[in-house]
Structure 1
């Protein structure tokens, strides 16, 4: 028995009875029976090929249900079914060490499109899988990624930035108290740049974040990617791909004319193009009041709720967003 299979099985509940495959009436009984049959085969550990086949059937059927109508109208039970299908398939794939990356991709799809099941078991399983997916060995196999990246310099067209007008810059404060931040910025709905509050993050403290580092630790993970220069473009779309695919296609090769995805301009106004505003149809935009700033590594920009904002990346960069009420 391979160590990967043993570790994957250990992530599952100890007994088959601990997996409660109960759903509301929207999930027909024949599919529930199929789920239970697949789970039983998995725990027996014998006919894994059959288990894998049934898992894929569950995924395919529930995937169709997830893509009928708008996302908000999808019943959560179908998302649970999809997650169980992904779980069963991912564990089955652990029988072969060579299928680790496919198993990781399956877990990620369950995490993105499904729902949390069995105390976030997919997150725990993917951690096991990543430990068996040797990042250094994988990086060398990925079409000479490190060789290519060391020879290529990321060519980013940095736009000309005019000086920030006096009195228009977003204020900066260093490590304010919660009381001061709440009274002076949160309640009055005023933007502010907070400095020093994430200096303890390894990404800031150790300067770890780079294209090569992200590719090494997360190149195999599947993520949603937004394609296009701005949300208002007709070509704007979303797709799923691995972090490695995104880096190779939209970062290393962006000089070939591909959009930069997360890293390109993001337009959050409904109709106005901030770079080239249509002042004929939107004449009031020219006199609109605004504030502006340039963020440096480690800066945190607080944007008040319902505040229109426009963000442009001046270089290849990484950012993290938080929302709270």
Structure 2
């Protein structure tokens, strides 16, 4: 963990922790760096791609396209091109929270469910893929399940806030009450004054690392590079 808010306390439901190199042994950590391999295995698959900065933006939309079309349009190229897109030169495309491994069992063979996911009282209820260029972002939100975010390709940065900070996070109205109204990296303190003394934890994930996020913890996630992550939710 890179930083923790002063006097921060852990939550009764658990504490986030980075598990260094937990999934470094996955074949995916090596294989998925090769765009030609991904194209061969999943290039023809049709997937839902999110277009726009984040899912709370007015201009946000979704579009169905093949993985090959998605990679050609949004992922291939260097991070300078990703920066241009993120600054308004073109839409940012993100394959986010998609059950790609149910759609493509061949790709599922490159990953392995971590034993860590057996520590709850139930079973894994969702395994999702998160794939996109640099600067793809999920705004601060909570999930109802235990969450193990496994970083396969690239680097992601996560800022986390305990459930006790919820009043300072200014949740949106239903049905998006699990998402904050605050841009947590550039908060408008005139509009959200309680956020001024919010406490947080920062984490950076590199290929092979995993981050455990307990239920109810707010987390904002942003890719620093082209990134492919896998998340496991369990009860």
For the aligned pair, the TM-score class normalised by the smaller chain equals 0.5 to 0.7
Task: Tell me the distance in 1 between the aligned counterparts of 2:24 and 2:2.
Answer: 26
CA distance in 1, matches of 2:11, 2:182: 27
Mapped to 1, the partners of 2:185 and 2:93 lie a distance apart of 18
Instruction: Give the CA deviation at 1:251.
Output: 2.0
Q: Which structure's CA Rg is the greater one?
A: 1
Residues in 1 aligned to 2:206 and 2:224: alpha-carbon distance in whole angstroms: 11
1:282 aligns with 2:192: yes
* 2:17 corresponds to which of 192, 212, 220: 192
Local SS of the residue matching 2:218: coil
TM-score (norm. length: structure 2): 0.55
- Compare the two structures and name the one with the higher strand fraction: 2
Q: Rate the CA distance shift 1:277–1:212 in 2: closer, same or farther, 3 A.
A: farther
CA contact (8 A) 1:251 1:260 kept: no
**How do 1:209-224 residues align onto structure 2 when only pairs under 5 Å count?**
209-210=32-33, 211-224=35-48
CA apart distance, 1:168:
5.0
Which has the larger helix fraction? 1
- Among 235, 238, 241, the alignment partner of 2:65 is 241
Q: How does 1:33-72 map to 2 (within 5 A)?
A: none
CA distance in 1, matches of 2:184, 2:37: 33
1:208-263 alpha-carbon deviations (Å, 9 max, x no partner)? 11233322321111111111111220011222111111111112365462233223
CA deviation vs aligned residue, 1:94-123 (integer Å, no higher than 9, x gap): xxxxxxxxxxxxxxxxxxxxxxxxxxxxxx
- Cross-structure match for 2:175: none
- How much has 1:319 moved relative to structure 2? 0.3
TM-score, normalised by the number of residues in structure 1: 0.41
Question: 2:36, 2:199 → 1: CA distance?
Answer: 40
Distance 1:279 1:223, change over 3 A: same
With over 3 angstroms needed to count, the CA separation of the structure-2 counterparts of 1:238 and 1:244, relative to structure 1, is: same
Paired positions, count: 145
Higher relative contact order (CA 8 A, sep 6+): 2
